[in-house]
Each structure stands twice: as structure tokens, then as C-alpha cells.
Structure 1
Amino acid sequence: MKYKRFGEDIAVRLEVGEEVLSSLAELAEREGVTFAEVSGIGAVDEFCVSVFDVKAKKYFDNDFREPLEIVSMSGTVTEQNGKPYLHLHASAGRADGSVVGGHLKRAVVSATCEIVLHTVYGRVPRFFDDATGLNLMDV
């Protein structure tokens, strides 16, 4: 992972074999990021996204192991239990032109991944909400 900070913004380049979520969590910890907006694109060959079933209060995974292009990735960095908490959604294009996406669980870089974090001064913790079964922002 290579990155450069420009005031409130951080430009990130992930390299082959790096996992997106764990790399960004490491960066957030290292740079003291407690609240940020995330956007990015890139090439991956392992991609796991989920859809949340509100009635079942459970995520259903869709796992892809093929060449994919992340056409859109966005979300937030917040905190839960004093640690960085990443909540990202991503869409990725397949070789046949179809697109898959959802709540990002895992993405391993196959060529490069370019990400921008726009940090915001402040802290936004998360809490588990029994009614939804989700970790919600405490705002």
C-alpha cells in the first residue's frame, strides 16, 4: 500500500495481492482516521459482496473469483469499540459486461486499486441495533 496525505484527503494505491478492507483499516489506524468518506476503483480477482435480508437480519454472500473491474466503491470509515469500522459498497464489472455488487466483504487487488479518503474532523461511533441487526452510526 502506498499513500499520500493532502490535508484532509488521503490518496491510496493498493498493489497486487492486497486486500482492500484490511488495508484501509490498517491505514485508518496508522493515520488516526476516525471518520471519513471513501471512494475508489480498481482491478480485483477475489470479490465478495453481500446483500442484507432485513427480515432474516442476515447477510447473504456472493463470492466471485475471476477478473473484475471495480467500477464504483463508496462508503465510510467510522469507529466501533475504538477500532476503525469500514462500511463500503462496491460494484464490479465482469468480462461479459454484467455488473455485480453489494456490501463489500472482501476484495483482493489483481492489478491496482485507487482510493481516496476524505477525512472529517470528529468521531462517529457505531452501535449494534437489535431491531435491524446492523451496526448503525451513532449520530
Structure 2
Amino acid sequence: MSDALRRVGDQWALRFERRFAHPPERVWRAITEPEHLGRWYPLTPAELAPRVGGAIVFEGEDGAPGPRAEITEFLPSRVFALREYDEETGTHGLRLELEPDGEGCRMVFTHTFADDTWAAQTETGWIACLDELGRVLDEMG
């Protein structure tokens, strides 16, 4: 079992910490604005209602609406959390927490889910996505 994977009650959680040389406000834009989110997140958002209870509709095949998520926490420049449902793997919780760290920002990213059979593959995917987030932040104006 990876150090990133832990049992939390009846769920599993992958937890990653990243430090970025960018202030929380910039990181917030990269994780909540569709034009930036779609560059590093595994799905591309077609719609995002930025509020608790707001929906995120991701692009499906051939431009049709795809998977949906519900925003469960929305504290600007601090916490962005959502709940996704996947027919194959069930319900997932994603939480991104930002904290100022000198001139930059520390982000704690946690992904919770019920079945750990695909956790290693998911961990590898998130590492690549978070690396890409760092590149997106460096390119943002």
C-alpha cells in the first residue's frame, strides 16, 4: 500500500500535498475556472456553477453532456470540494485545500472512495494531473 493511500472509516483516501510558488488566489483560479481546470483535471468541464450545491457538467463524447459532479464546499482561495459519481467505480469525494505558504501556497488534495481495487492506478493518474497543474500555474498570467 502506498503512503498516499489510507483507510478512513469505511472509505479509502488518497492524500497528496503539493507546494506551489504561486499565491492561493492564482491556484484557486487554476482549480475552479473551467478554462484552467480543463487543462490539468482528467475531465473537461463544460459548465461549472461556483457555489455549494452547484453542478459541474463535464464534456462527454461528441460534445454531449458527460459526467456530473456537485460542489460540496466552496470557500474562495481556501477550499474547493466536490462529489462525483461514476457508474463503474461509485461515488468519489475530491477536496482541495489551499493554505498560504510564504510567497506561495500549500495544497492538500484528498480523493476518497469506497473500493481500493484501482487505487494504485488512480494514485499514478493524480500524480500526473498535479504535475500538470504545476505547469498550468507557471503558464497562467
Structure having the larger proportion of residues in helix: 2
Structure having the larger proportion of residues in strand: 1
* TM-score over 0.5 (shorter chain): no
Q: Structure 1 length normalisation: TM-score?
A: 0.28
